[in-house]
Amino acid sequence: MMEIAYYDGQFVNINEKIVAIQDRGHQFGDGIYEVVRIYNGKPFLLDEHLDRLEQSASSIHLALEYTREKLKDLIYEGIKRSGLKEAEVYIQITRGVAPRHHLYPKNTSPMLSMAVKPPRVIPNEKRKHGIKVILQDDERWANCYIKSLNLLPNVMAKQKAFENGADEAILLRKSWITEGSSSNVFAIKHGTLYTPPATKRILNGITRMAIIKIAENLGIPYQEVEITSGFLIHAEEVFITSTSIELLPVVQVDDSVIGDGKPGPISKQLLNAYKNLYDE
């Protein structure tokens, strides 16, 4: 079992230096990515991730030049070579390698890189007792629905959370919640599940969509509506979702304790149902 990477048609050790200096990923962040979770050797919600990869590509006018089948073959080949049963596949496609100019290069093919690694481990304590988050201004660009490589604001927001003893930064446009620095946000009030709608201001998480579908199947009422930080603080339950963390209960927002300060029953019910989707 090993961490493995892929660039320009070759599988390599993840620490190998293999990327061209003039890859537009390296010089402009001019590309898109996905992270896919592998459970028991099988990529979870792979078509949903590849749908979104294609949407991201289209949004930045990048012609993928990879069929769905080819992308799947590569991902399966990466998993096989890694020997990992539990893994995360990181896949990134940039506008290719070309002399540095802002304009899209002509006659250049997109460049795909990939990494297959063991999944991120969330400490049991955080799963069990929930996490603290902080609120921060959303300083990102206008098109956060694109899963692009321009992640500096997300990186800085996450770091600020960490330095304040928190695990995630929940971002605000004025007083409206958008999402976390690498997660979507949900709140439960009077038994109804609330999450901000999938506008251009948020990345419509694959896990987010799965949770909404689960809520529907379980008969939990839900609303995709704009919510304020005040609404969040006074919710009965709050949680965040992403491919890596699945669903993590939030028990504190800045100095405000959520509900009784413990993960709530609906959060647990949704997480269990989510796990059932891959754990059969």
> Site for a second copy (CB under 8 A): which residue of 7, 194, 239, 274?
7
CB under 8 A: which stretch of 4-12, 189-197, 206-214, 263-271 binds a second copy? 4-12
Q: Is 235 exposed, middle or buried (0-12, 13-18, 19+ CB in 10 A)?
A: buried
How many CA atoms lie within 13 Å of 153's alpha carbon, on the beta-carbon side?
Answer: 16
Q: Are 169 and 180 in contact (CB under 8 A)?
A: yes
Q: Is residue 63 close enough to count as binding a second copy by CB under 8 A?
A: no
Sorted by sequence, the CB contacts under 8 Å of residue 227 that are 6+ apart come out as 176, 177, 187, 194, 195, 196
CB under 8 A: which stretch of 27-35, 47-55, 215-223, 265-273 binds a second copy? 27-35
Phi and psi for 146 in degrees, rounded to 5?
-90, 125
Taking the least distance from each CB to a second copy, the nearer of 61 and 190 is 61
How many residues sit close enough to a second copy to count as binding (CB under 8 A)?
56
How far apart are CB 142 and a second copy at their closest, in Å?
4
Rounded CA separation 166/190 (Å): 26
Q: Is residue 137 close enough to count as binding a second copy by CB under 8 A?
A: yes
What is the signed CA dihedral for 55, 57, 63, 68, rounded to 10 degrees?
-60
State the catalytic residue, choosing from 147, 158, 189, 268: 147
Candidates 118, 122, 94, 121; CA nearest to 108 is 94
Q: Is residue 109 close enough to count as binding a second copy by CB under 8 A?
A: no
How far apart are CB 236 and a second copy at their closest, in Å?
29
> Site for a second copy (CB under 8 A): which residue of 113, 178, 195, 267?
113
Q: Is residue 25 close enough to count as binding a second copy by CB under 8 A?
A: yes
For 66, the token pair is 């990879």
Taking the least distance from each CB to a second copy, the nearer of 26 and 127 is 26
Rounded CA separation 31/169 (Å): 24
Taking the least distance from each CB to a second copy, the nearer of 89 and 251 is 89
How far apart are CB 104 and a second copy at their closest, in Å?
5
Per the annotation, the verdict on 147 as an active-site residue is yes
Radius of gyration for the chain, computed over Cα atoms and rounded to the nearest angstrom: 19
Rounded CA separation 276/272 (Å): 6
What residue spans of 35-151 are helical by DSSP H? Answer: 46-59, 68-82, 124-129
How far apart are CB 107 and a second copy at their closest, in Å?
15
> Site for a second copy (CB under 8 A): which residue of 142, 174, 217, 279?
142
Binding mask 194-233 for a second copy (x = CB under 8 A): ----------------------------------------
The contact set with a second copy (CB under 8 A) reads 5, 7-8, 12, 14-30, 33, 60-61, 90, 92, 99-104, 113, 115, 117, 120, 137, 139-143, 148-156, 158-159, 162, 181-182
Residues annotated as catalytic are 147
